Amino acid sequence: MIEYGKYSSYSKEELIEEIKKLKKRKKYGIIWEDKPEQVAELCKEKLPILTEDKTKEIKTNTEKPVNILIEGDNYHALSILNYTYKGKVDVIYIDPPFNTGAKNWKYDNNYVDINDSFRHSKWLSMMEKRLKLTKPLLKRDGVLICAIDDNECAHLGVLLEGLFQGYEIHCITIVHNPRGIQGKNFSYTHEYAYFVFRKDLKIISIRKIKEEDIEWRNLRDNGGQSLRTNAKNCFYGIIVDGGKIVDFTDVLNNDEHPEKQTIIKDGKFYVYPIDRSGVERKWRYARQSIEEVKHLLRIKETKNRYEIEIGKDFGTVRTVWQDSRYDANEYGTKLVNRLVPGCNFDFPKSIFNTYDCIAPILYSRKNAVVLDYFAGSGTTGHAVMMLNKEDNGNRQFILCTNNENGIARDVCYPRIKKVIDGHKDYPTITGIPANLLYFETDFVDAEPTDKNKIKLTKQATEMICIKERTFEKVLEKKVFKIFKNTNHYTGIIFDQMAIPAFKKIIKGIKGKFSVYVFSLGDETFDDEFSDVKQRVQMSPIPEAILRVYRRIFR
């Protein structure tokens, strides 16, 4: 896609040369006029770091992981995360600006409106820079989910194909506005979600079905191949007591024939797969597997007998989602306004839309890391907490958002805090104990002088603690610091001359250590720790950070 504002003054020869350059740049895919972006250009002169706002720390449950909220431009946050979370993220869910042409999205501090001839190029430039930083963060079985609407859906699809070669890319349709938004010819009721993950992996598990939508059928088989003789281990009794299924009998011998379908014995009811004509049939599940689906069974009392029914509360995830819970007005805008009265945030996602996007991936990943770097009102963090509440999981979320119009401080953070504290109108989806640390992006000079390396090392404490997930301070001295979590310790040594003193301190501490030692070069100081009994993993700083930044900002 080439936008022509730049080329109006080109001669025919100049245009031919420009086309040749574009052809060399990309053989297949979408082509656009790449627009420089100040936040990316800044990183040639300044390197991003994090500073903690300790006034916004939330700590409610020491048994749960520490969640992260980063205030700042997501390009800078993603650069930092390429050091702290490379290859560690299970799910990245993003809801970027949809580029509708309304003045609600800025590029380089200027609103992008419908008349901007570089509107699509600016959006693609912005997304490409961030998606390139996204890919290294994903685990091998990690998933990227990107919400979008018709304005950029086609362009995004081709962009993803180019950046994620060798991946499956699925586009899901979600009806999020049943009332519709009137266009010139159609009333738009839907948006999309792209799911991106490596090929040949089973990633998406199940979708949960609401109780009122479960389709029930008789556990007794019917039709062809449904007779007792077709599967002898499928003929046994189901014991009902007090209106509940309490047990199962052994498979009946071939010469055992119940006198009727429901038999009363010792005050309990024994139900067999015999139809109303008295024909002995079979249950749909063999005796050795029926107990695994016991929770899917229910009893239906009829005249003189019980029927046993089965209904699955889960199913395969479909490609078109339609449910009243996805209504962005009811479970997005109204929900956020009640949790954070007076806040100003346009078009938040329905909490159930986001929840149903991430849940089928995360049901089996109770210790997953979930990232949203277009966090907005914090819907993704809310959804992760709901899932943790549901199955007592320990999933961690990382949210990144700027503070334009107070989004980070006046919307996202208060919402997460209210979800943790609880809200009387939403008792089932709030009141969820969780921990949160709040960081802001900042910068140090990029010129690789000794002075700047020393400064970067001193400013890297928060990044290292996030990388190691060790946030509890054990000891802080001018020349070194020690932090811990429930599993291990992290030491940061700012002066290599302090190594003996550091070793003396940790001699009495049991546990594994990750130790970061300042070095102007790339020295790890392994020999200095060869006599330490604990298992110590050494890393030089700031060189390990600089290597990441050289790769990103080159």
How high is the mean pLDDT in each 10-residue block of the chain (554 residues)? 62 81 66 85 96 96 93 98 98 93 76 83 93 97 97 94 95 92 85 96 84 89 94 96 95 96 95 96 96 94 91 88 93 96 90 97 96 97 97 97 94 98 96 97 95 95 97 95 94 95 90 93 87 84 95 90
Q: What is the pTM of this model?
A: 0.85
Pairing of strands 244-251, 236-241: antiparallel
What token pair was written down for 185?
């010819």
Contacts 24+ apart (CB under 8 A), 176-180: 176/326, 176/327, 176/328, 176/349, 176/350, 176/353, 177/327, 177/328, 177/329, 178/324, 178/327, 179/329
What pLDDT, on the 0 to 100 scale, is given for residue 269? 96
CATH of 34-206+318-441, one of 3.30.70.20, 3.40.50.1370, 3.40.50.150, 3.40.630.40: 3.40.50.150
CA distance 140 to 146: 18
Please give the DSSP secondary-structure letter assigned to residue 252. P
8 Å CB contact between 534 and 510: yes
What pLDDT, on the 0 to 100 scale, is given for residue 23? 65
Distances in Å between the alpha carbon of 510 and those of 199, 325, 473, 484, 552? 43, 50, 16, 11, 38
In the beta sheet, which residues pair with residue 438? Answer: 69
Output the CA torsion 542→548→553→554 (10° steps): 100
CA distance 116 to 205: 42
What pLDDT, on the 0 to 100 scale, is given for residue 407? 95
CA distance 452 to 382: 39
8 Å CB contact between 97 and 123: yes
CA distance 480 to 456: 15
Residue 349's nearest CA partner among 91, 96, 104 is 96
Please give the DSSP secondary-structure letter assigned to residue 319. S
Q: How many residues are present in the chain?
A: 554
Distances in Å between the alpha carbon of 458 and those of 354, 455, 517, 536? 38, 5, 11, 21
